[in-house]
Each structure stands twice: as C-alpha cells, then as structure tokens.
Structure 1
Amino acid sequence: MTDTFLSSKHTLMQQAQQQMQAALPIHDRTIREKLALTCRILFEHGHDSGLAGQITARADAPGTYYTQPFGQGFDEISASSLVEVDEHLTVVRGEGMPNPANRFHSWIYRARPDVACIIHTHPRHTSALSMLETPLAVSHMDLCPLFDDCAFLADWPGVPVGNEEGEIITAALGGKRTILLAHHGLLIAGRSIEEACVLALLFERAAQMQLLAMAAGVIRPIPQALAREAHDWILTPKRSQASFAYYARRALRHHSDCLD
C-alpha cells in the first residue's frame, strides 16, 4: 500500500478525482425531469420572485430549448408542463407561452455552443447587491467555482425582451459561466443542468456572504493561484452531478409532483 502521507497534493487530488468517478452514482433523469427539479430546488432556496426569471435547457432538436410556461411559478413546474420553443420563442411542443424575456437566452445559445442550460433569477441577496453596482467578490473557499468565472454588467439595459438586451447581455457574459446584472439579477450559463443549478445556488450564497462581509469591514482577496486551483477542483461534472443529486433529494421530499 502506498504511504499517502508522502504523496504530493497534486497526486492526492488526482486520486480523489478518480475515486469520485467510481464511487459517486449517476442518476439517469431526462432533461425535462432535471429542469423541473431545478425549478423546485431554486424555489426552495430563495430564487422565487413571482413570475420573474427563466430557466431553460437545450432540447434534442437543434435551435430549440425547454422552458417553463409563462404564468407558472417555479414551485408549480413539472416535467410535463415544460414547453419546447425555438429560438424565435415559437412553441413547438407543449401548451402555453414562454416568458418574452427568454429572447436573450436565444442569443446566448447562439453564441455559446458549450452552454446546455441557462438560469436567470432575481434572488433577494443577489438583487440587493446588484443595486450597489458592485461586482461579485469571490473571497472564500466555498465560492471558488465562481472565481474568474463571473462577469459584470454595470449598466441596466432595461427589460430584456428586445434583441438589444440579448446582444448586450451576451457580449458582457463573454466566455464566462456567470454574470451579475446591475439592477437586475444573476445569470448562469452552465455546461449542464446540474452545473447551472449548483452555480445558481452558490451565486446567491456568495451575494449574501458579500453583503455580510461588506457590512463588517473590507473584503480581503484570496491568492489567485489557490483560487484557480479550487475553481478547477470543485467545478467538475461529477461534483456538480453529486451536488445536484443531493439538492434533488431534498426537493423531492416536498415536491415529488414535479416528476409527474
């Protein structure tokens, strides 16, 4: 047996990643099921703001994606109630209409083929931070998946129902996974539904921690190299899947109807 007390940190991290691949199970859910679960998970964690906010995920057909029908809250969404729309927001499957603000999702999907899921919400602490026109500060180990991966749009372009807002938000996001929209809320562009959901939860926690820290004093930065190491260590597909599965189990205790 190898004496791990003599192993380098790099070696131990590699071994742990390999163990995660083998030990952590994968839950085989459909896109619709995962998206419905995401709606319920975010509702349970303070992302509810009436009918504001949209959650979308690419569907199988090119240029189409699933989203919640306008008029239903996150706590009412089920896998069967989701509608499938094309990039012009025309419903191709399902009943109801999408939120007109979904137009900027279409812009992001066009520009970012790596993005599989977009979450846009107005949770309380993120919205409060956005009112200060202050970028998100990542200065704690738990928040490192957001390190150097969060853009900031300092100017509010108005309600995002036009093409202008789609162009502005997409350009500001660039190649990053998250963005804080001043006077508005958060946006997550995830490589998977699981990753997007976990990052949305983390983003709101980061905003809450930032407001608490700012009230107590001056936020101190963390070393960039260590922050990047933590970003890459935490933000892996397997970790996102495991975290999502945990939050899904919690949500299903009270929202089993979301899976029909």
Structure 2
Amino acid sequence: MELSQARDIVYQAGLDLVKEGLVARTWGNISLRLDDHSFVITPSGRNYETLTAEEIVAVRINDLTHQGDVKPSSEKGMHAEVYRRRPEINAVVHTHQRHASTVAAARKEVTGLSEDHARLLGKSVRCAAYALPGTKKLMKAAGQALEEGRHAALLANHGALCVGSTMEAAFRVALELEGACESFIAEAFARHYGTRASTMEEMHACYLTTAP
C-alpha cells in the first residue's frame, strides 16, 4: 500500500473511533500494515481531532525504527508483535472503550459469546496478563491472547486490542467487542443480584467489586 493512502486510512480511523466513543483525546493507538516489513501508526501524545495524516509515522516491524522527526506511539512494539505473529492481519486498533475496559480491569476472559459475536471475535476474548505499557512483556502477552485466530483481546487494566485484515474489519471488531462486553457484564450482574442494573454506572461499579 502507498504510504500516503495508509496514512489517510489511519487518520480517518482515528476520527471514526472518536465519533463512536471508542477512544478519546490522546488515548489508544491505530496502525496499518504497509508491507511485510513496515506499518504506519499514530504518533505519541497527539489528539485525534487535531492530528494530520502527515503525522502518521512509518515504523519497521523487525527493529521498530521509524522515519521522520515525529515520535510513533509507545505501543508500536505491541502492533509489530501482532504483524509478526499474524501475517493475515493488516490493521491493529488499541482502544480504551468503556465496556471492554471494565472487563479488562476485572481481568476476565469473555466467554459464552453469541454466534454473531464469536464469528467476528473468536471463540472467546482472552485477557492478556498485566504488563506495563510499552514493554516487551505486554507485547508478548498481547500476542499470546490473540492466538488461535482471535481478533480481539483485553489488556489487563489497559483497554482492548482489536485486529483485522482491513481497517474496516478491525473497526467492526472494536464495535462488536463493546457489545459483547456489555452483555457479559450485564449477565454477570444479573447472576449475582438476580436483577438487572438500573443504570450503566451501577452495573459497572458493582461488576468490578463482585466479578467472580
């Protein structure tokens, strides 16, 4: 893919993720594979709504070196790990979306997925072991959580990682994951309390304190 085209796709994806409430301000990061050796990724500490396509950074998969003066996301290694392990994956999105982040904070694997959710996400959504952001430990844990053809993983205390063969596919995974996690939390609440939560805030707060 041409560098300019890839940058435009990542730039637009950032705006779309903000619009859907899946990322905010400078949180999260988005990348797209250029070829077998490199990918482009959002820069470090930039607001999606003021970011320009020219600030999207090209990074080498094997050694994480990059072109230009703009610093790439500190999570570039996690994206590179996915591209190394999964040659069929061409887009990676790291979000801090609300429902998925709540389950990630509880460090739970999302099981019991509906057929529709499982078709897009995989047979379950694993939660990668906790590791500090930007570390090799997190890279490895995230890569392992996405094994066996999965397209989404939770990162303990750190949001979610969604992947796809295209940016559009990765974006659909992020949306599907949010719905799956909302259902997972609601069902856990209902099992524990025998009723449905009256508000989303109540459901999240109680889930984090009672999740088995």
Counterpart Cα distance in 2 of 1:212 and 1:201: 17
| Segment of structure 1 superposing worse, 77-86 or 186-195 | 77-86
What is the CA-CA distance between 1:187 and the residue it aligns to? 0.8
Give the residue type in structure 2 aligned to 1:44: K
Other structure's SS at 1:205 match: helix
Counterpart Cα distance in 1 of 2:105 and 2:37: 34
Other structure's SS at 1:189 match: strand
Aligned to 1:21: none
1:1-260 matches, within 5 Å, as 30-60=5-35, 62-87=36-61, 88-92=63-67, 94-140=68-114, 142-146=116-120, 148-153=122-127, 155-159=129-133, 161-174=134-147, 175-217=149-191
- The answer to whether the 8 Å contact 1:89/1:98 transfers is no
Other structure's SS at 1:100 match: coil
Counterpart Cα distance in 2 of 1:97 and 1:149: 36
What is the CA-CA distance between 1:179 and the residue it aligns to? 1.1
Counterpart Cα distance in 2 of 1:140 and 1:155: 25
- The answer to whether the 8 Å contact 2:111/2:125 transfers is no
- The answer to whether the 8 Å contact 1:104/1:165 transfers is yes
Give the residue type in structure 1 aligned to 2:181: A
Give the residue type in structure 2 aligned to 1:89: L
What is the CA-CA distance between 1:152 and the residue it aligns to? 1.0
Task: Deviation per CA, 1:213-257: give whole Å up to 9, x if none.
Answer: 322337xxxxxxxxxxxxxxxxxxxxxxxxxxxxxxxxxxxxxxx
Query: Taking structure 1 as reference, are residues 213 and 77 closer, same or farther at Cα in structure 2, changes over 3 Å only?
Result: farther
Question: Percent of pairs identical after alignment?
Answer: 25
What is the CA-CA distance between 1:139 and the residue it aligns to? 4.0
Query: Taking structure 1 as reference, are residues 197 and 95 closer, same or farther at Cα in structure 2, changes over 3 Å only?
Result: farther
Counterpart Cα distance in 1 of 2:82 and 2:101: 21
Query: Taking structure 1 as reference, are residues 215 and 120 closer, same or farther at Cα in structure 2, changes over 3 Å only?
Result: same
Give the residue type in structure 2 aligned to 1:145: R
Query: Taking structure 1 as reference, are residues 154 and 216 closer, same or farther at Cα in structure 2, changes over 3 Å only?
Result: same
What is the CA-CA distance between 1:58 and the residue it aligns to? 0.6
Give the residue type in structure 1 aligned to 2:21: G
Give the alignment's Cα RMSD to 1 decimal.
2.4
Query: Taking structure 1 as reference, are residues 164 and 30 closer, same or farther at Cα in structure 2, changes over 3 Å only?
Result: same
More helix, by proportion: 1
Query: Taking structure 1 as reference, are residues 145 and 79 closer, same or farther at Cα in structure 2, changes over 3 Å only?
Result: farther
Query: Taking structure 1 as reference, are residues 35 and 132 closer, same or farther at Cα in structure 2, changes over 3 Å only?
Result: same
What is the CA-CA distance between 1:206 and the residue it aligns to? 1.8
Higher RCO, 1 vs 2 (CA within 8 Å, ≥6 residues apart): 1
What is the CA-CA distance between 1:30 and the residue it aligns to? 3.2
Name stretches of at least 5 consecutive residues in structure 2 with no aligned partner.
193-212
Structure (1 or 2) with the larger CA radius of gyration? 1
Aligned to 2:202: none
Give the residue type in structure 2 aligned to 1:84: A
What is the CA-CA distance between 1:76 and the residue it aligns to? 2.9
Stretches of 4+ moved more than 6 A in 1?
none
What is the CA-CA distance between 1:212 and the residue it aligns to? 2.5
Counterpart Cα distance in 2 of 1:205 and 1:44: 16
Other structure's SS at 1:207 match: helix
Other structure's SS at 2:126 match: strand
Please give the TM-score of this superposition, normalised by the length of structure 1.
Answer: 0.64
- The answer to whether the 8 Å contact 1:149/1:177 transfers is no
Counterpart Cα distance in 2 of 1:154 and 1:203: 15
Please give the TM-score of this superposition, normalised by the length of structure 2.
Answer: 0.77
